[in-house]
Structure 1
Amino acid sequence: MASNMESSIYRGSESFFDFSCFTCQENDRNTEAGFYCEECSKFYCSKCVEYHNYLYKKHAILSKENISLWPDTDVVEQDKCKEHRKEKLTIFCEDHSELICHVCQFHNHQKCSHLVLISDKVRQLHQKGDFKQLSATIHAQHQQLIHEKDDLEENIKSLEKSYTTLLEEINALRKTINDSLDQLEKYTKKELDTFLVTMRTSIRTDIENCTKSITNITYHHDDFLKIKDKSEALSFIKYRKCIDQSLKVESVLQEMTTKTDMTLTFKPDKTIQQTLSTLSGLGQILRTVEQSHPAKRTTQNTDNRQNKPKETSQSDPGHQTTSGFKVNKSHPESRTSRSSSPGNGTSDLTKSGQVSDPVSSSSDQLVQGHQPGAVNRSDQIIKVKSSKKYSVKIQGDKSKCTIRGICETASGELLISDWNNRKVMLMDQTYKVVSHCDLPWVPCSMCSIDSSLVAVSNQYGKEVHFIRVINSQLIQDRILKFQHDCLGIAHQHGNLYITDGSALYLYTLDGRLVREVYKDTSSINTVMSCAVSPDGDRIYVINKRSDQLVTLSRDGTVISTLTVPGLDVTDSEHVLVCGSWSNKIVQVDKDGRQILAEVVTNNDGVSNPMSVYYSKNTGSIIVGMWDNNDIIVFKAV
């Protein structure tokens, strides 16, 4: 308000204009400007511009018709002190890097040791050529921006073109698969036709034999009846012929009796369906980012009076290390050659049914890898506002429940595994158990595979059971057997991670070993539970013996270790860690270097937590506990 009053008094009127006449302002009048002189950098009203034009006939004047060429703000106001509106800015304080007037100098800058008149500063900059250098720098940056814009526009075109190409490749692959399936269908139907013809011929032959036998035995029997009372010799002869024919019929009947009824049945080749169930798509779409080497920056800070030493790096220019990742840089021939290409991985993936090793694509790591300064969703601290307990005990349970695993299918069904009672349970939206599936061994851990499939590890059986949710029922899908114990289990984009107490292994979904990711044989029970971040960049392993959360990169490199007392298992969505002995659920940053917060504790009713899961569908944290028939659902803020 004071500023408005001062401005009103200064301008001598209660009217305000976007642009005021400079000459009128000097005479304490407030008049709207209608002209702008680029040479003088001043605004004039219609009367004052006449005097200006008389004095400066060669100056170019811009009227309001060309207001788009006027400066964004009143240039006259720019050289006024913001604190002392009637005073001009005449001094530059280098100590504070601030433009001031003589009143500011008197009140606020008397102790400053580096005060320079603006006119002297401008003269120095001219002498040193800094103004010319600034213009050259801006021009160079302008050209760089234009080139960058052109490159980006070319990149858009290239991206659209690669998108179209990939669609064609996907359609072609689908056609190839369809053709292969059509060929298999053709062969199978041809085999069916062959069987039908063969069996039909066999049956018709039997029918002909039956007809022939019926005719023969009827003829001989009738002939025997006609002759038997007329001649003993003929009767005996006919008798012998009937006996011979009867023996032939008996042989025919015996042969027919040994043949079971001929039917056709179809036994599908399960390999096809099993292979398809292991795939998460027709192939992998890989994003490629080729880093360019921009021209050296020429911008200089002309007001900085200290020369800073130039930073140097002795690292390999062909590699870049970021948060534990070793990322290979590509060196393209052209900046406009950025593209997204599936490479050979798509065809190989489709033919073999295998999922490619996520470490094999360095360009994919470059895009998906953790970048310094990036905000990770997992690092956003979770807070809970309410909680509610739900009983999961069902009729027939012989022991109290111990919930060791919690997960959701991709379509949102919630499943929990009960260690004590050896079963997996399906819950509805009200957290009521609607179905369950009994297991031969105690379920150790559980993870989601696809929209309706989950995998459950069975420690002592050295097995992983796949269970599918169909119409609110749990159906056992298949079983994978291994040569080692199966404790922790996690899945990410077709990659199955399993721990056995001393190592972490990477498998395909059909049970083929890809590699050993991590191992610690320093003691027993070193590599227990595991989890994988949604983007696959981080793998989390629980070292139960040392109470440590070990964070690994895709290739198994140890990024960090963090001691969390009594920890048991993690949820990777927000890196939540159970402290089974400490009765706490803590949140850890994505790289596993520090505890961000204690999300829930014993004061919230948590006792010996054994499993924790963050539900994206409901925005809730679900906790399972040892020897407890309840789960606790915490609603997150």
Structure 2
Amino acid sequence: MAVPGKKGSKQFSSSTTSMASDEDLQVYCQPCDEEGTRLPAHGFCTDCKEHLCKTCFAVHKKLKSTKHHTVLDASIMPKALQQPSTSIHTSQSDDLTTPCCKHPQEIIKFYCNDHKKLLCSVCVTLEHQGTICKVDYIPDISGNIIDSKEYQVILKALNSTFDHYQQTVKDVKEMTAKSNRSLKDALEDIKKFRKEINQRLDKLERHIVHLVKVTEQENNSNITSVETACEEITKPWKISSEKINQLNTSKQANALFMELKLAEKMMEDVEKTAPQLSTYDVKEHHFEANETILTKLKTERSLGTLTQKTLNKECQPVQIKSRQSSHEGEICVRTSKDQYSCYITGMILLTPDLLIITDYHNNAVKMVDTSSQSVSDQLQLDDKPWDITTVASTELAVTLPDIQTIQFISISSNTLKMRHTVKVGGKCYGISCYQGKLVVSFYNPAKLQILDMNGTILTTIDGKNIFKDPEYITCNRSSIYVSDWKMKTVTRLNWQGDVIGSYSGMSKSRGMSLSDDGTVFVCDNERNVIEEISEDCSTGKVVLENLNDPYTVCWCGETKKLYYSCNTVMKKMPTFYTFINCHKTYTKVLYER
């Protein structure tokens, strides 16, 4: 048995680990071992690939030639000595050739059990010290991995995942082909419908054209009748006129006297029939369009409706591990400037670390730093703010319903500043911005307006039979979503104002936010839940429940957190939690009433 500090036999200088006794399994300093002294290893140099005793470890870190080497302390150094070609790990360590993504010059050789990460020696030294993490040298733990249960489970999961997504691609191709065929059929139906409309209009046109032609024929017939009657009357006159001239020329007084008297008698007879000709009914005609048809065409916004039917197959996503919820901390949004309890009615994320909220009771807009979990700035307004939206990277717009105004706010050096205002025609509540256009909702009467940044009205959407109290709005490229707590609906419209979807599974729908994939998160403060509604508003599901009066909500796509305001119990400070479900993270921010 070798004694530390004493010269060992030559057979131990190779630092083998194949001996049977506990002492032989002890890791020793290799430089000292080669000099004939056996001392316990205190660390390991990844560059020299040698274990070092306490003295060599200290010297190694001071020498000019080795002070830049990466050394591992006893808690994370390899538990087996580096072997010559006959080592049991040789065949396994030779394949450690994968470079580290953070340190490309280093090879991955270690595994952190706490963080489930593959590491190089630099990663271990800088980020996963042995006092914090349990790190293993890969050749020390990989001996039984070949054909292991872990290998079989993971390979099976990988194959199952691959098959799942291959099938998904196949299903999507089939559904897309079916969808395209249905669109082709829809185009044929549109043409058929248009043809039916044309045929009906053609029939109406033929009818009125026929009336025109009949009237024209009657007019022409009357002309012929008048011409014939006049010709019959004037023909004797012409003969008498010629005879009177002839008798006058020939100086035949007796005959001329008689002819004149006959002509006079003939004119008396004509005077009796002349009134019949003068009262002949001839009319001028003008076309008056059927305004009902024209008005209907003007008011109709579409030739028809393109209805949709979901073709998605119901399939469960592949899950290897279940996800758990976790609590993250608390944020206090009450400040020394506040005179009343906080009432958060609107919120928007400027960046993942910067949340902007409207405090209705305190006439304030507040900037919340989600990293430090504190209010970093507060701007007092002229009246109570309701909803808020971003209009540029450093500019916001806030609705002030009681004074019928939109207040623009800028952000500079993490400070909120009031800019210009825009007066609107009504009590404005919900507001959302997309590509330079503001969409604003109003009460009494219920309506939506699309405005430019100067407040010019581009479109007005009458809310009659659609809305009662459209309190919140959110929009994207293709859709405008409106939350109406009295109608108990979330309504989807296109930018022309046509209703293209509606979800009625709410009790009191309040604030909304769009996620990355187009789904809508909505607060229901009567059922005390937050629902996730599909993009087409056909389906919805509860993602957070048992809340206290949730009111407004905001989704962060980068951090996968869902912030929302709700009433606190016992006037506790506002707080937020994280809840993981369906591979999404939801976070809440409570407000104080």
**Bigger helix fraction:** 1
* TM-score, scaled relative to structure 1: 0.39
Higher relative contact order (CA 8 A, sep 6+): 1
* TM-score, scaled relative to structure 2: 0.42
